[in-house]
Structure 1
Amino acid sequence: MTSEPASGLACPAGVGLPVVPHGCSREIHAVLSALPGPIDRVIVLDDLPVWVVTGYAPVREVLADENLVKDPLRLPPSVHPFRGRRYPEDGYSLGGRHLISSDADDHTRLRKISTPLLSRRAVRQWRPDIENYTRDLLRVIMKHGGGELVSELFEPLSTKVICRVLGIPATAERTVLAGSRTLLGPFHPRDPEYLRASADLQQLLTELLSERAERSSVDTDLASAAAVAWQNGKVSLREALGVVRQFITANTINTASVLARTAVTVLSDRHLAETIVREPDSVAAVTEELLRLQSSAPLATWRFAPEPMTLLGARLDAGDIVLAAVDTADHDPTAYPDPHELIPNRTGPPHLAFGYGRHYCAGAELARLEIQAVLLALARHSHRLQLAEAPEQLPWTAMVLCHGLARVPVTAHPHAKGDPAS
């Protein structure tokens, strides 16, 4: 495997460049870890050349670098960041006006919609709901003697939670889940299924915001906050829709993918499960270490060079794409001794699974609550739950920017003496 060095020369073609594969975390990690760094040219999505930044310090620097832009509309009119075509995973940038695709003052303005409701203190109100949803969904799996955790626990859980936070009625959960699976899945943006799911979700959210706007009051949900911001002229309707839609697409499947890998870890490690049951307060530290070890995103979302520039010694052209490899950053041995070991209460810099800087994940605290609830529930039932397939045999989703296990089948043994209350 060869890689072009960051010699200061622009890289016009993709011939001979390393290819970042679709799907399996181990394969993606292997390719990214083999790059010389700190910035290298690679191919993603089969034929799209991008710059990838590796290593903890360089990745954090790039995540905070506001000379790079998230909004493709800030590029010169003659420059298309995706070479004039659509790719399955470009929806993050071309899917509307929202936090992930905005910069500077626009980003601050849009983030004000969600900040009051998604702070660490504010999300505590959702903890009882999250724990109840988790318990109820897991109870069904246990009753049936097993099941498939991704489709029967993690996706329904993350969907219920985001609908509750956004103020979307439970009757629309099916539309929300279908939309998140499709819009953040491997579908091409012109695929009829993608277009249909996008239209269905857009209709649902447009009707929701219009109904909330008529109330002219801010309830304790994000849709109401977005609607009031729209009515007060602080954001456009397109921006209000984009912000709400972003939380659906970015939260639901991202969270489910982390939960799937978390489940495999806790169900494969009896000592870890017993520690969590014996010391439930340890779940917060375990969660942070699991996030470091297995982020849902090996590569952060798209960043673009708005003009010719030098980045970490490499010369970039206007429109060049830069991807920060948070996976390699969080496994950098210069930042984390024994980086592949799970060490709760590890000392060292904070992990980058939720990003860094202005674009730090707005839903990070909510995701933490979901992971903690699932960890506690699975640990308490770990003596009855067993993986139905070896971890190395579990299939991965065929994606690059966001990936996870496609399914996690389990078997549940009969009620055992000393079981915790279900």
Structure 2
Amino acid sequence: MDFADDLMTRPYDIYDRLRTTSPVCRITGTDGQPAWLVTRFDDVRAALADPRLSLDKAHAREGNYRGLSLPPALDANLLNMDPPDHTRLRRLVGRAFTQRRVEQLRAPIRATADRLLDALGEEGTTNLITSYAAPLPIIVICDLVGVPDSYRRDFRAWTTALISPDPGRPQAAKEAMVAMLGFFQELTAHKRREPADDLLSDLIAVRDIGGDRLTEDELMSLAFLILFAGYENTVQLIGNSILALLQHPDQAALLRQDASRIHASVEEFARYEGPALLAIRRFPTQDVTIGGVQIPAGETVLLSLSAANRDPDRFPDPNRLDLGRDAAGHLALGHGIHYCLGAPLARAETEIALAALLERFEELELTEEKTRWRPSLRARGLLDLPVRYRATRPSF
């Protein structure tokens, strides 16, 4: 099947059909190379935790889909590693994303959300992706990592070039990688000269002083991954959640009536319209059987998080947004040792973003303009979310 085109334009229709007819099937990736796609919840969940499915491209067989290719200085990251290196690096950055640390960030996150909404004024129209859903996570992750204002670039333009390459500009992805590498080299040099109380300074100290030693490539790759994944998935989760609310006014009314529901509702938003269609590609280190299908060692396995989360055997009536549903156990943020490191932060940002938006605007609705989804094999996120709004109360 022509996986790339169909998946990007109508993913849930495709997933519903595949779960019934071909839950583990051979497809063609965006680079024209073959891969195996897994769509049932139980199969996806088991595969996410299977140590025989490696993220290390050294186990990839030639001629199969390999996914995004980065220069070595950005490629030595957690998304390409297995234990013990994965364990070592995850331990180094894990303390920055603990639930306790995230709770300390809630007040600054809310203050940032309020400032962004203040800038919109009392009423009007806006693209909520560019004015709210995107800048909020960028500000938060830059503050956490320690990116000074003068170093804050258009990260989203770079990541868009990588995630959704423009067929008319095949060189754009390469240009973005070169620009990102130069940025991280410059930022790291700045932090060596002027260390501060932030995550990047801590990682540089580990690299330069000792302890769990980092190579220079590991340092650059960690900085890249934290900034890249630390905001991109959150942008998508916030934007997708807002769209889901606007498309389901009955569910929005529930949250307006009882704001305490918002905390639990984030799980249902993530299940219903998560930030990723697919998990990072995996390569079996030996022949494996998934869903009754034998997959040879080295061939590429793609695990569909979105398809798993719409599996009716796990979630009844899965294509319906139900904020009263117990959505615990969804796979939107992964499972197993590669579970999203920034999940607590992404949840908190989404909860705060929704609460601030609903409190601020009494009226919030889609305009007649069309929403646009990012044309991506992996990411499930909006390019545009045009809305009309009117404030509940004056903003000061």
Instruction: Determine if the TM-score, normalized by the shorter chain, exceeds 0.5.
Output: yes
Contact 1:19/1:42 (CA < 8 Å) preserved in 2?
yes
Instruction: State how 1:155-234 maps to structure 2 within 5 Å.
Output: 155-187=134-166, 191-213=170-192, 220-231=197-208, 232=210, 234=213
Verify the 8 A CA contact 2:76 2:218 in the aligned structure 1.
yes
2:177 aligns to what SS in structure 1?
helix
Secondary structure, counterpart of 1:411 in structure 2: strand
In the aligned structure 1, how far is the partner of 2:358 from the partner of 2:72? Answer: 38
Deviation of residue 272 (structure 1)? Answer: 3.0
| More moved, 313-322 vs 149-158 | 313-322
CA contact (8 A) 1:117 1:221 kept: no
Report deviation, 1:382.
Answer: 4.2
Residue 153 of structure 1 and its aligned partner are, at CA, apart by: 1.4
After the TM superposition, which of the residue ranges 361-370 and 251-260 deviates more from structure 2? 251-260
C-alpha distance in 1 between matches for 2:71 and 2:315: 30
Match for residue 28 of structure 2 among 43, 51, 54? 43
Give, in whole Å, the separation in 2 of the partners of 1:22 and 1:311: 23
Number of residue pairs aligned between Structure 1 and Structure 2: 391
What's the CA shift for 1:353?
0.4
Aligned to 2:11: 28
Secondary structure in 2 matching 1:127: helix
| Selected match of 1:238 from 186, 204, 217 | 217
Question: Deviation of residue 176 (structure 1)?
Answer: 2.9
Q: Distance in 2 between matches of 1:58 and 1:147?
A: 41
TM-score by length of structure 2 reads 0.89
- Supply the AA of the counterpart residue of 2:62: H
- What does residue 93 of structure 2 align with? 114
**Residue 54 in 1 paired to residue 33 in 2?**
no
Number of the residue aligned with 1:70? 55
Contact 1:289-1:346 at 8 Å conserved across structures: yes
Does the 8 Å contact 2:371/2:384 carry over to 1? yes
1:253 to 229, 232, 237: 232
Equivalent residues of 2:38, 2:302 under 8 A apart: yes
* TM-score, scaled to structure 1: 0.84
The residue number in structure 2 matching 1:3 is: none
**1:357 maps to 2:341:** no
Q: Which amino acid aligns with 1:411?
A: R
2:385 is the counterpart of 1:402: no
Of 311, 316, 320, the match for 1:332: 311
Distance 2:73 2:215 in 1: 17
What CA distance in whole angstroms lies between the structure 2 residues aligned with 1:420 and 1:50? 54
Q: Is the 8 A contact 2:44 2:304 kept in 1?
A: yes
Match for 1:252: what amino acid? Y
What is the CA deviation profile of residues 168-209 of structure 1, one whole-angstrom value per residue up to 9, with x for unaligned ones? 112222243333333333258x94332332223222222333
Does the 8 Å CA contact 1:274/1:379 hold for their aligned counterparts?
A: no
- Contact kept, 8 Å, 2:203 with 2:219, in 1: the verdict is yes
Give a deviation string over 1:42-67, Cα, whole Å, max 9, x none: 22316232111121111100000110
Deviates more, 1:133-142 or 1:264-273: 264-273
Task: Pick which of 171-180 and 354-363 moved more.
Answer: 171-180
Identity %: 27
> Aligned equivalents of 1:401 and 1:327: distance in 2?
10
- CA positional deviation for 1:420: 6.7
Q: Provide Cα deviations, 1:141-168, integer angstroms capped at 9, x if missing partner.
A: 2357221111121111121111111111
Query: Deviation at 1:94?
Result: 10
Partner amino acid, structure 1, of 2:111: N
| Counterpart AA for 2:173 | Y
Note the residue ranges of structure 1 that are not aligned, 5 or more in a row.
1-16
Deviation per CA, 1:12-55: give whole Å up to 9, x if none: xxxxx352436656x11211221134421122316232111121
Distance in structure 2 (CA, Å) of the matches to 1:107 and 1:92: 19
Q: Flag the 1:237–1:144 CA change in 2: closer, same or farther, 3 A.
A: farther
